[in-house]
Amino acid sequence: MDVPHTEQMPSTERHRTLCLLLAGLTGSGKSTFAKRVASKGGIRISVDQLVFDEFGRYGVDYPEPLYPEFERRALETARRQLLDEIGREKRVVLDHGLWTDDDRLEWVRLVSRAGGVPVLVKFEPPIDVLRQRLAARNRETHADALHVTESALQDFIARYEPVPTALNPIDGLEPFELVMQKALLRLRG
């Protein structure tokens, strides 16, 4: 697998935007992490939040089969927002699953071409942990609380491609401060 090369900028141009690209299944901890980044001054771009804000709650305010189209629109908005933030010397986190290597590489290339520093953070907890988190979250009603049945979870698991080491991900299940420390080291590269 080819991993895009990100050229180093001279030290006078190191005010590059750190773009954290989160990969993981629903309930894996991505949104919790992204909200923590935002609470420390970062910019959170959440595809689920964009869908929720425009269309409402999955399976409640609109029929579930419409979600792929709504997600597509939200992804277009997320791309624009992310590109707008690159170069503003901020930390940006894309709160979206990035379930496949093709999706991951697409976002890495987008960020790199725009002059940002893409850092892939993977969230791959054990399946029993996902089940516990989803059981609790299924009772909630906010934007990040898409109701996930056991059959849906099995479908998600079947479609999710674990993040390969060739993409050099940081393990998002490590303590937050350690993940951010590792990410900032890549920014300073």
Instruction: Note the pLDDT of residue 136.
Output: 87
What is the rounded distance in angstroms from the CA atom of residue 123 to the CA atom of residue 138? 19
Who's near 149: CB < 8 A, 6+ residues apart? none
Q: Is the pLDDT of residue 141 over 60?
A: yes
Domain assignment present for 80: yes
Instruction: Answer whether residue 8 is part of any domain.
Output: no
Residue 4 in domain: no
**Pairing state between β 43-46 and 170-171:** unpaired
Domain count for the chain, please give it.
Answer: 1
Weakest-pLDDT range from 5-19, 45-59, 142-156 = 5-19
pLDDT for the residue 6: 39
Please give the pLDDT value at position 117.
96
Question: 72: domain range?
Answer: 16-188
pLDDT of residue 144: 63
pLDDT per position as a tens digit, 77-135: 999 999 999 988 689 999 999 999 999 999 999 999 999 999 999 999 999 999 999 98
Asked whether residue 24 is domain-assigned, the answer is yes
Q: What is the pLDDT of residue 3?
A: 42
Assigned domain for 176 exists: yes
Within a domain: 26 = yes
| pLDDT over 90, % of the chain | 69
Long-range CB contacts for residues 100-107, cutoff 8 Å, separation at least 24:
100/159, 100/161, 101/1, 101/161, 101/163, 101/164, 101/167, 104/21, 104/23, 104/163, 104/167, 105/3, 105/4, 105/167, 107/21
The pLDDT of residue 186: 93
Check residues 44 and 67 and name the one with the higher pLDDT.
44
Q: What is the pLDDT of residue 145?
A: 65
pLDDT grade for 172, boundaries at 50, 70 and 90: very high
Is the pLDDT score of 143 beyond 80?
no
- CATH value at residue 70: 3.40.50.300
- pTM for the model: 0.87
Q: Specify the amino acid at residue 28.
A: S
Q: DSSP string covering 6-33, please?
A: -PPPPGGG--PPEEEEEEE-TTSSHHHH
For residue 1, being part of any structural domain is answered with no
Residue 166 has pLDDT above 60, yes or no: yes
